[in-house]
Amino acid sequence: MARYMPDGWTLPEVNDLNRPFFTTGKLMLQHCVACDTVQHPPEDICRSCQSDNLDYVESKGTGEVYSYVLPHHPPNELLNTRIPYNIVLVQLDDHPHVRLVGNLVDTEPDDVKIGIRVNATWEEIADPNGGPAILLPQWVQAK
């Protein structure tokens, strides 16, 4: 799959906390062993009970568009040829209190609606600095 955003668009900075999310090709969410809360984005401690006993669980990667925005005025010149583009906030089926931001990559902006069923997909993006590739979670409409 070609990258949805322009090639020069900024990549997330991978660190120890978000590495499972950005490098596994699975929708890995941080889970608190102490209180069973699932949270995203990952943090040093659980936002519910402040425990630092955290691991990761895999989401099924299905959900629906909870909200969206279709930028028409590029906030950066790299986006001059990309507007309008789809930014969706997805509510996950298996962790409904977790909502993830991404691009809906297979849908024309006029067809983006609240409630659209979506599945996670991944864009493999080479690190221009020679580091490991990022597998960026994105969204496609469920068939």
Chain residues binding Zn ion by CB under 5 A are 32, 34-35, 37, 46, 48-49, 51
* Residue with token string 């009970």: 49
Q: Tell me the closest approach of the beta carbon of residue 48 to Zn ion, in angstroms.
A: 4
Tokens of 28: 């890995």
Residue nearer to Zn ion on the CB measure, 55 or 93: 55
- Contacts of residue 47, defined as CB under 8 A and 6 or more positions apart, other chains included, come to 37, 39
In angstroms, the first-to-last Cα distance of the chain is: 18
Residue nearer to Zn ion on the CB measure, 5 or 46: 46
Tokens of 124: 């493999």
Q: Tell me the closest approach of the beta carbon of residue 53 to Zn ion, in angstroms.
A: 8
Q: Tell me the closest approach of the beta carbon of residue 18 to Zn ion, in angstroms.
A: 18
Q: Tell me the closest approach of the beta carbon of residue 61 to Zn ion, in angstroms.
A: 23
Handedness of CA 105, 67, 41, 142 (dihedral sign): negative
Q: Tell me the closest approach of the beta carbon of residue 51 to Zn ion, in angstroms.
A: 5
Taking residue 36's Cβ as centre, other Cβ atoms within 10 Å add up to 11
**Residue whose C-alpha is closest to residue 90's, from 70, 61, 110:** 61
Residue nearer to Zn ion on the CB measure, 34 or 142: 34
Residue nearer to Zn ion on the CB measure, 53 or 67: 53
Residue nearer to Zn ion on the CB measure, 12 or 96: 96
Q: How far apart are CA 23 and CA 31, in angstroms?
A: 17
